[in-house]
Amino acid sequence: MHPRFVRHPLALIAAAALVVPGLAEAQFYRWVDEQGVVHYTDQIPPTQVEKGHTALSDKGIPLGTMPPAQTLDEIKREQELKRLRAEQERLLEQQRAADRVLLKSFRSVDDLIMARDGKLAAVDVVIGVSRASIRREQERLAQLRSEAANLERAGKPIPPHLEEGIAKTERTIRDAYSSILEREQQKEGIRVEFDRDLKRFRHLKDIPEDRALVLEDSSRPALGNLVTCVGKEQCARLWDRGAAYVREHATTPIQTDGPNILITAAPKTTEDLSLALSLIQDQGTETASLFLDMQCKNQGSADLDCREDRVLRVLDGFRHTVADP
């Protein structure tokens, strides 16, 4: 066969298969060198094995393709993609499991709202117990301070047990306010959790959004009586502002003015407003919280007397006045 009649390398392979005995069962390879030139050979050069090639039958039919070997970066990318896909599938399954629990636990939007309000009410009961304890400790503190004042007026020294009793009572009150702050933050977490569940429940049940509930949620007061600070300098500056705010708005005299706590006397009339400011340090960090709490006369269950507009304005104005701009 004259070379001028061979128009394509495959034709050369086919022609060779007809002339050379035993070549019909042979296997050929198609590969491309670094210059982009296509080659057809019965063996792959060692330098080309990992660069990709196509196996061909003796009739030029592709039998399979060996892709180029992956680089280290390609292997890492593929492993990261596999990890991301697995994580995505895990999150999807987690969401499907949460949806099943949500639909099994609640039959309607009203069920969700009732469950939320029940949890909030349970936390309010605990807060009420803490407030009652604070009132008892305040009465004890007033009695101890009165005894100390009488001794000072009589020119007598204050015994160590009396000083320790005053300090211990102040610590108890401060710890109680720290507990109240934790419970208030717990309530906020409950609201956020149920708001998320409520939106998801409506989506799963294809229930239109209730605009009245949306407006109610958006008007819900946040913890305007809580301000955070970082570092001694900022906390000291905000503490001075907070103490001035307490003195301006409290209607009862200062009862305790100690390190990280400022308390006015308990209310005596329904018009009285008793305030307490505490600086609560986060464990192991430089961050602290300034928490303003209040007491009203006969607050009793649900703290009803402390929900008047004048009282809420004092709470809401605390963050705006005390926090750094």
244/316 same-domain check: yes
120/177 same-domain check: yes
234/325 same-domain check: yes
Query: What is the pTM assigned to this prediction?
Result: 0.62
79/117 same-domain check: no
β-bridge pairing 254-258 and 261-264: antiparallel
312/230 same-domain check: yes
- Distance between CA atoms of residues 211 and 272, nearest Å: 37
**pLDDT average, residue stretch 32-55:** 72
Can you give the residue range of the structural domain that contains 320?
222-325
13/101 same-domain check: no
Q: Which of 27, 109, 21, 9 is nearest to 64 (CA)?
A: 27
For the chain, the domain total comes to 4
275/213 same-domain check: no
16/113 same-domain check: no
- Distance between CA atoms of residues 230 and 287, nearest Å: 4
Instruction: Please tell me the predicted confidence (pLDDT) of residue 193.
Output: 93
307/230 same-domain check: yes
H-run or E-run covering 188: helix 160-205
Domain boundary among 15, 42, 66: 66
Instruction: Please tell me the predicted confidence (pLDDT) of residue 243.
Output: 94
CATH (domain of 240): 3.30.310
- Distance between CA atoms of residues 157 and 216, nearest Å: 58
CATH (domain of 160): 1.10.287
205/138 same-domain check: yes
Instruction: Please tell me the predicted confidence (pLDDT) of residue 17.
Output: 41
Q: What is the pLDDT of residues 7-29, one digit of tens each?
A: 344 444 444 443 334 444 456 77
